[in-house]
Amino acid sequence: MSSQAVKGSGGAIMGDALEHALAVRKREAILRELVHGLDALSDEQLVSIDDPVGLGKSMAGLLVAATGSFGQLVGPMYHAQALESLWSISRQELGKQVTAGQVLALQVGDEYLFPVFQFKGRTVREEVLAVVRVLRTAVDPFTIAQWLCTPQQDDPSGRTPLQRLNDGEYGQVLAEAERATTRWSA
């Protein structure tokens, strides 16, 4: 059961505890993988790092926490610079991918932010992108991100479309996105 479902049934304190426990597990998993990656480097490679504190800050800076209720809903995001680094591409190439709809980008001022939920490793999740393409015909990227992270009336369990995609319900979520697009376009 998701913490959202627990909160919805009046157990806000229990939901917060579950959410915190999940956050701790994810933080530990990230740290384990980071340590594993660092352990794979030779002593010579590690000694050659001139600014380990700066490197650590740069690595942590790949993710940005969006603020406010929208940020709480959608979760962490990558800066454009983070994706350029992760994908070893130029700003122009990333811009082309944004324009072509190959990645969900939220424009804030003159900067793009990329919700982390759309990625699996270094690639964009195709099932998320397919739903984004359907919704993009009727609404803006902020509404799409919000829709993906908000429980829908069509699902009595209180799961979000993103949780349902994670559970393998691609066809149902895609159909729900098509129905939403039809309603919004009417």
63, containing H or E segment: strand 63-64
Which is more confident, 62 or 1? 62
Mean pLDDT, the chain, integer: 80
pLDDT score recorded for residue 47: 74
Which is more confident, 3 or 114? 114
pLDDT score recorded for residue 5: 43
Model confidence at 135: pLDDT above 90: yes
Is residue 142 helix, strand or coil? helix
Distance CA(17)–CA(116), nearest Å, equals: 23
23, containing H or E segment: helix 12-39
User: What are the pLDDT digits (tens) for 6-63?
Assistant: 444 445 566 677 655 756 666 666 666 556 566 776 787 767 777 676 556 555 555 5
pLDDT score recorded for residue 62: 57
Question: Cβ(155)–Cβ(164) under 8 Å?
Answer: yes
- 2 secondary structure, DSSP code: -
Average pLDDT rounded to a whole number, residues 158-173: 94
pLDDT score recorded for residue 29: 62
Model confidence at 141: pLDDT above 50: yes
